[in-house]
Amino acid sequence: MTTTSSAPGKVYLFGEHAVVYGEPAVPCAIERRAHVTVSEREDSRLRVCSGDLSIDGFTVEYSGDRDAGGTPDVDVPAPIVDAAMGYVDAAVEQARAAADAPAAGFDVTIDSEIPLGAGLGSSAAVVVAGIDAATRELGVELDAREVADRAYQVEHTVQDGEASRADTFCSAMGGVVRVSGDDCTTLDAPALPFVIGYDGTSHDTGELVAGVRALREEFGFVADTVTAIGDLVRRGEAALADGDVATLGRLMDINHGLLSGLGVSGRTLDAMVWAARDGGADGAKLTGAGGGGSIVALDAGSGAETALSLTPDCEAAFRADLAREGVRVE
């Protein structure tokens, strides 16, 4: 048998980084999906192929012990293969546990429309779709909340404890969600006109989260910035409930400034944020951990996307509709 599941990537409307300290965050699922196809094997080995994780294709086959059996082919840097395999490995472990099949082996193929490490939730989408596909392949159907919970356990382990539930819950549930600590809910939201700019680079989320933590420990007032982001998110929830896109945009601009204060913006992100604003966006901010990667803007017209596509620091500019559906079997 073969099973394919898909799950969406996400942008943060508000609240990344502050969510690590228990403040609320509001991520939104976007119509860019990771597809994971799983076939159970006769033996207990795991073989993973990926064509387009925005890195060169890689194939890895191993018997469960990555250190002993992993043989990455071609020219992909070992740390990237290691990171990607860490997520897949842990996702398969969760599926084996959920289906009570500790020795199950799989061929896994990943096709993702979401660039890696770019603040668009690629790893969460792969993990969510992978757990869903592998459990179904073993004859077990988990509800989306359980997939989200198991996917969070994966991210928590692979990212050395530096992960919130935001990415995984959003990818599993779809739509607009609110995450505060362990408290995860879905929100009603209007159709939001997202425009995304991507600078072609990737970031290390764990490193950026650790940087904010160090800054917060060194300067007491940085904790106030984190609290201010929480206040902003609560105000944003009201604007969301009212369908007030103009206010959402203004709050995104402020959120970007506060993230800059936490030291997680960068030259390319700032250039893209300003290009989107100059192009007429209601607001723009970096999305995800920052450093490099992506920005998100709100613009119902075409100005922000055009301005981004003309910006040298922007490798790709695209619209992304809100994905109302989270994880699903294909």
Active-site residues, by number, are: 167
Would you count residue 7 as binding ligand PMV (CB under 6 A)? no
Measured CA distances, 312 to 148, 161, 197, 256, 317 (Å): 37, 36, 11, 21, 11
Q: Which is nearer to ligand PMV, 138 or 286 (CB)?
A: 286
Would you count residue 8 as binding ligand PMV (CB under 6 A)? no
Would you count residue 19 as binding ligand PMV (CB under 6 A)? yes
Which of 14, 17, 151, 171 binds ligand PMV (CB under 6 A)? It is 17
The one segment of 13-21, 40-48, 251-259, 305-313 that binds ligand PMV by CB under 6 A: 13-21
Would you count residue 50 as binding ligand PMV (CB under 6 A)? no
Asked if 55 contacts 136 with a C-beta cutoff of 8 angstroms, the reply is: no
Separation CA 287–CA 122 (nearest Å) = 13
19 DSSP assignment: G
Would you count residue 166 as binding ligand PMV (CB under 6 A)? yes
Q: Residue 227 is encoded by which pair of tokens?
A: 């609290």
Separation CA 141–CA 7 (nearest Å) = 15
Minimum Å gap between C-beta 62 and ligand PMV is 25
Would you count residue 163 as binding ligand PMV (CB under 6 A)? yes
How much of the chain is helix, strand and coil, in % rounded to 5?
Answer: 45, 25, 35
Residue 308: in which H helix or E strand, if any?
A: helix 303-309
Which of 8, 70, 121, 303 binds ligand PMV (CB under 6 A)? It is 121
Asked if 199 contacts 272 with a C-beta cutoff of 8 angstroms, the reply is: yes
Would you count residue 205 as binding ligand PMV (CB under 6 A)? yes
The one segment of 52-60, 87-95, 96-104, 163-171 that binds ligand PMV by CB under 6 A: 163-171
Would you count residue 149 as binding ligand PMV (CB under 6 A)? no
Can you tell me which residue has the tokens 């929830």?
237
Q: Binding residues for ligand PMV, per CB under 6 A?
A: 16-17, 19-20, 119, 121, 163-164, 166-167, 205, 209, 288-289
